[in-house]
Amino acid sequence: MSWDRQIILKNPAEIAIMREAGRVNASVHAAIRELLQPGVSTADLDAAAEEVLRKHGAVSPFKGYGYPPFPNSITVSINEELVHGIPSAKRKLQEGDLVSVDCGTLLEGYVGDSAFSAGVGKISARAQKLLDVTEQALQQGIAKMHSGNHTGDVSAAIQQYVESHGFFVTREYTGHGVGRNMHEGPQVPNYGKPGTGVLLRPGMVIALEPMVLVGTSRTKVLADKWTVVSADGSLTAHFEHSVAVTEGEPILLTVL
């Protein structure tokens, strides 16, 4: 899945608004984390997200996105589901599940985009390792988000970290620029070569999102046309932050 969308630099005032959108998105994450218990439905998580968004005068850019239009405000993807799971009142969390939640906040015309994965109750050692590696891979990518580096430096850092722990990165879904639109240029894959790709410059805002699979890099899409699962049914995880490139250290936008 590749695109050639425009890269739109943001000025400090725009980045300040995006920081607020990101803060709201982090609040949504916090509300959902508190609900991750056996018996809670994925529709319950979606309702909790909508409540937080409404309280902040924000809406989700996910709702109505794409074709068929995505029906909910968050995506909830469990175990072998990597991304884009559709919330449902029938789908209840179970002890030991690994849940990935992706949320977007549209506030004052700008998008905050971030995702996390977490266990429900007690999870296996393998699942915990997958969580730790995926979250740390995101940090490895963020550490490369310096002006003068290339997107390939970010991609390679994520890929090398994940593969050094014996897991796989998806080739089909990528990180991306974010701003007034949820998906802008540049694309930032979770694999690549240092020194290649787009030069990072101050004012770029990019959503980095390692999507990691235990047994394969291959995925397939279910009949609902949204839910992406690992091709071999193996466990998956996903972490994402929206990050601004500056003259100095990168700014993490999607934190409290």
How many residues touch Mg ion under the rule CB under 5 A: the total is 5
- Told to check if 113 binds Mg ion by CB under 5 A, we report yes
- Told to check if 102 binds Mg ion by CB under 5 A, we report yes
Rounded to the nearest whole angstrom, what is the least distance from the CB of residue 138 to Mg ion in the complex?
12
In the block, tokens 């959108």 appear at 21
- Told to check if 153 binds Mg ion by CB under 5 A, we report no
- Told to check if 207 binds Mg ion by CB under 5 A, we report yes
Residue number with CB closer to Mg ion (156 or 178): 178
Tell me if 232 sits within 8 A of 218, measured CB to CB: yes
- Told to check if 15 binds Mg ion by CB under 5 A, we report no
* Beta bridge mates, 34: none
Whole-number Å distance between alpha carbons of 90 and 67: 23
Rounded to the nearest whole angstrom, what is the least distance from the CB of residue 228 to Mg ion in the complex?
13
Rounded to the nearest whole angstrom, what is the least distance from the CB of residue 207 to Mg ion in the complex?
4
Tell me if 216 sits within 8 A of 231, measured CB to CB: yes
CB count within 10 Å of CB 238 equals: 28
Q: How far is CA 52 from CA 25, 32, 58, 77, in A?
A: 9, 10, 8, 20
Rounded to the nearest whole angstrom, what is the least distance from the CB of residue 163 to Mg ion in the complex?
22
Residue number with CB closer to Mg ion (114 or 234): 114
Applying CB under 5 A, the residues found at the interface with Mg ion are: 102, 113, 115, 207, 240
